[in-house]
Chains A and B, each alone.
Chain A
Amino acid sequence: MSLFEHSLKELTQKLNNKEITATDLVEESYARIKEVDDDVKAFLTLDEENARAYATELDQNADGKAKLFGLPIGIKDNIVTKGLRTTAASQILSNLYDPLYDATVVQKVQQEKAVTIGKLNMDEFAMGSSNENSSFQATRNPWNTDHVPGGSSGGSAASVAAGEVPFSLGTDTGGSIRQPASYCGVVGLKPTYGRVSRFGLIAFASSLDQIGPLTRSVEDNAYVLETIAGHDEMDSTSANVDVPAYTEALTGDVSNLKIAVPKEYFTEGVDEEVKASVRKALEKYEELGATWEEVSLPHSKYALSTYYLIASSEASANLARFDGVRYGRRSENADTMIDMFKNSRSEGFGDEVKRRIMLGTFALSSGYYDAYYKKAQQVRTLIKNDFDKIFEDYDVVIGPTAPTPAFKIGEQMDNPLTMYANDILTIPVNLAGVPGISVPCGFAENGLPIGLQIIGKHFDESTVYRAAHAFEQATDHHKQRPALGGKAQ
């Protein structure tokens, strides 16, 4: 059995009792990566030498007190790591071998003595829902390698599902943690906007981006969030709100939980198998003593349009910094500065990134700003109001995470709009800024996992975790493991 079958808390206990060493965990991680990553392709960069040296150092000076002492972690490649290549899966950053600083979340996990195993694949600049927009490689779903792992944090989800690392960090702008967690059968949380510092996250859409954990269990997830959450003076949008002990919220008791189930999350675009799994989950909640009622989030169907206008507009501004001057790749084919900008960007960005930069530039341009960008921001208010109203009467909102299980590689690459529709159930959560989690709630007939989405009030991750944990403990979906071409653990 893999050591990573143990919870993070169990692993730290074993380390404390000297039953295992940090080196054992790091070796377990790299051995599994060697075994399966040719198939899964989750990692872009490995940090073997440093990870081994650091594990040895931890073993020699073990006091074991730090919260993530000796635990191997994978980090999405849009989170900046000092001295470790950080590319956001883009050619324009493919030569950024030595970033100048660590993101705040990286500093935090390092203060708790986690060991960084490597950097995880993603859609370029987090723009995509399948990892097929990575300019390096397409990560595959460990449950069936003909299928996508989801995106954009596909590497983060696949690496945990495949047992390469016990936990990872991802980022979520419109569903990029929750949708791949759903596709890969792991637990992924997008925290409340402002809960986790974005300092050192390569910005895509600054009013929507959040960093969050991907793990095998709800308890592990709560445990990691305790470490990475909190105010940061380097990010003025990080909230000065106390970080509760999330793991203490996991009581297993949901007997007084009031659940809202939006009818808009069961529309025709959602697979029957997915609907059936979520309905079964609601029955489980009833058994556990919770109550649920159907409600309406009337502006849900406008979320996708709103999101693409706002996110692309913000992206067009954020990605203006990639100009071939200070870092990143510069085109060899330019005699003037303007041509150098243009050619560096055109050679360095993939099609989806260009598409969104142009959409955003258009939506912000003179004469179109009011019709598109401002309109979208007004509709964002209506979407947020929908949630505020529901949360006056209910503790959580529950529905599917994604409309379907993981689709096949190549299946949705022809039409950007079809691809965008994968995020239709996760996007409203980012627009409203509330927290949302995906937990495994079943499997489709073809063996691919299905995820349940639980959404909470601003800064009420505790209730989200409590609801997710009670369901998880009453079911065994999270205990299933992918066979990975017969290479079962």
Chain B
Amino acid sequence: MSRISEDQVKHVANLARLSITEDEAKTFTKQLDDIITYAEQLNELDTEGVEPTTHVLDLKNVMRKDEPKDWIKKEDALKNAPDQQDGQFKVPSIMD
């Protein structure tokens, strides 16, 4: 049984903001299905009650005073932008 369908792959691509062709959808479905099927070997393990590890070190939240610091100027922040206007990033229309 396949673990992921072509429709799911298209759905996931949309969530990830990727456009994929029909051919790509087929290829990715096969490849992702192989990977997910392989990864399901984890189900052999009983992990009942095992704490998930998000970070290996005993990290604590680092708090700093909320003080403004110099970083970069607005012109610098905009210099690599594909498009800009009036000191702001410009994007195509948000509504259809």
Residues of A within 8 A of B (CB): 96, 98-101, 193-194, 207, 233, 236-237, 239, 299, 301-302, 304-306, 308-309, 316, 320, 323-330, 334-343, 345-346, 349, 354-355, 357-359, 361-362, 365, 372, 374-382, 384, 415-417, 431-433, 458
- Whether A193 and B45, one on each chain, are in contact in the complex, defined by CB atoms closer than 8 angstroms, is no
Contact pick for A306, options B42, B43, B64, B77, CB 8 Å: B42
Q: How far is the CB of B10 from chain A (nearest CB, A)?
A: 10
Q: How far is the CB of A95 from chain B (nearest CB, A)?
A: 8
Q: Looking at chain A's contact residues, is the secondary structure mostly helix, strand, loop, or mixed?
A: helix
For A377, give the chain B residue with the smallest CB separation.
B52
- Whether B19 and A342, one on each chain, are in contact in the complex, defined by CB atoms closer than 8 angstroms, is yes
Number of A-B contacts (CB under 8 A): 168
Residues of B within 8 A of A (CB): 4, 8-9, 12-13, 15-20, 28, 31-32, 34-36, 38-43, 45, 47, 50-57, 59, 61-62, 64, 72, 76-77, 79-83, 89, 91-96
Q: How far is the CB of A455 from chain B (nearest CB, A)?
A: 14
| Ranked 7 nearest A-B pairs via Cβ | A433-B56, A377-B52, A330-B82, A327-B80, A378-B47, A305-B39, A342-B19
The answer to whether residues A330 and B83 also contact, given A302-B41, A361-B16 and a CB cut-off of 8 A, is yes
Which residues in B have their C-beta under 8 angstroms from that of A417? 34-35, 38
- Whether B92 and A349, one on each chain, are in contact in the complex, defined by CB atoms closer than 8 angstroms, is no
Q: Most chain-B CB neighbours within 10 Å: which of A233, A320, A330?
A: A330
- Whether B38 and A357, one on each chain, are in contact in the complex, defined by CB atoms closer than 8 angstroms, is no
Which residues in B have their C-beta under 8 angstroms from that of A340? 91-92
- Whether B80 and A98, one on each chain, are in contact in the complex, defined by CB atoms closer than 8 angstroms, is yes
What are 5 contact pairs spanning A and B, CB under 8 A?
Answer: A100-B72, A237-B57, A326-B81, A342-B19, A358-B9
Give the distance in Å from the alpha carbon of A291 to the alpha carbon of B79 in the complex.
Answer: 59
Give the distance in Å from the alpha carbon of A417 to the alpha carbon of B34 in the complex.
Answer: 8
Which residues in B have their C-beta under 8 angstroms from that of A338? 17
Give the distance in Å from the alpha carbon of A109 to the alpha carbon of B32 in the complex.
Answer: 41
Q: How far is the CB of A333 from chain B (nearest CB, A)?
A: 10
Contact pick for B39, options A101, A308, A325, CB 8 Å: A308
For A207, give the chain B residue with the smallest CB separation.
B55
- Whether A359 and B53, one on each chain, are in contact in the complex, defined by CB atoms closer than 8 angstroms, is no
Contact pick for A326, options B41, B43, B55, B89, CB 8 Å: B89
Which residues in B have their C-beta under 8 angstroms from that of A304? 38
- Whether A361 and B15, one on each chain, are in contact in the complex, defined by CB atoms closer than 8 angstroms, is yes
- Whether A305 and B41, one on each chain, are in contact in the complex, defined by CB atoms closer than 8 angstroms, is yes
Q: How far is the CB of B30 from chain A (nearest CB, A)?
A: 10
Which residues in B have their C-beta under 8 angstroms from that of A328? 80, 82
Contact pick for B50, options A101, A381, A431, A432, CB 8 Å: A381
- Whether A362 and B4, one on each chain, are in contact in the complex, defined by CB atoms closer than 8 angstroms, is yes
- Whether A358 and B28, one on each chain, are in contact in the complex, defined by CB atoms closer than 8 angstroms, is yes
- Whether B52 and A374, one on each chain, are in contact in the complex, defined by CB atoms closer than 8 angstroms, is yes
- Whether A316 and B80, one on each chain, are in contact in the complex, defined by CB atoms closer than 8 angstroms, is no
Contact pick for A381, options B36, B52, B76, CB 8 Å: B52
Which residues in B have their C-beta under 8 angstroms from that of A458? 56-57
The answer to whether residues A362 and B28 also contact, given A237-B59, A325-B91, A349-B18 and a CB cut-off of 8 A, is no
Give the distance in Å from the alpha carbon of A216 to the alpha carbon of B15 in the complex.
Answer: 45
The answer to whether residues A193 and B31 also contact, given A302-B45, A316-B16 and a CB cut-off of 8 A, is no
Which residues in B have their C-beta under 8 angstroms from that of A376? 39, 42
Which residues in A have their C-beta under 8 angstroms from that of B54? 207, 377
- Whether A336 and B9, one on each chain, are in contact in the complex, defined by CB atoms closer than 8 angstroms, is no
Which residues in A have their C-beta under 8 angstroms from that of B89? 325-326
- Whether A378 and B51, one on each chain, are in contact in the complex, defined by CB atoms closer than 8 angstroms, is yes
Give the distance in Å from the alpha carbon of A301 to the alpha carbon of B61 in the complex.
Answer: 33
- Whether B57 and A193, one on each chain, are in contact in the complex, defined by CB atoms closer than 8 angstroms, is yes
- Whether B81 and A309, one on each chain, are in contact in the complex, defined by CB atoms closer than 8 angstroms, is no
For B13, give the chain A residue with the smallest CB separation.
A358
Give the distance in Å from the alpha carbon of A359 to the alpha carbon of B96 in the complex.
Answer: 29
Q: How far is the CB of B67 from chain A (nearest CB, A)?
A: 13
Q: How far is the CB of B71 from chain A (nearest CB, A)?
A: 8
- Whether A335 and B93, one on each chain, are in contact in the complex, defined by CB atoms closer than 8 angstroms, is yes
For A434, give the chain B residue with the smallest CB separation.
B56
Give the distance in Å from the alpha carbon of A339 to the alpha carbon of B54 in the complex.
Answer: 33
Contact pick for B72, options A101, A335, A374, CB 8 Å: A101
- Whether A355 and B31, one on each chain, are in contact in the complex, defined by CB atoms closer than 8 angstroms, is yes
Which residues in A have their C-beta under 8 angstroms from that of B12? 358, 361-362, 365
- Whether A358 and B38, one on each chain, are in contact in the complex, defined by CB atoms closer than 8 angstroms, is no
Give the distance in Å from the alpha carbon of A334 to the alpha carbon of B77 in the complex.
Answer: 24
- Whether A326 and B80, one on each chain, are in contact in the complex, defined by CB atoms closer than 8 angstroms, is yes
The answer to whether residues A355 and B28 also contact, given A96-B80, A308-B39, A362-B4 and a CB cut-off of 8 A, is yes
Which residues in B have their C-beta under 8 angstroms from that of A372? 36, 39
Give the distance in Å from the alpha carbon of A346 to the alpha carbon of B83 in the complex.
Answer: 19
- Whether B19 and A343, one on each chain, are in contact in the complex, defined by CB atoms closer than 8 angstroms, is yes
Contact pick for B92, options A301, A334, A346, A381, CB 8 Å: A334
Which residues in B have their C-beta under 8 angstroms from that of A341? 17
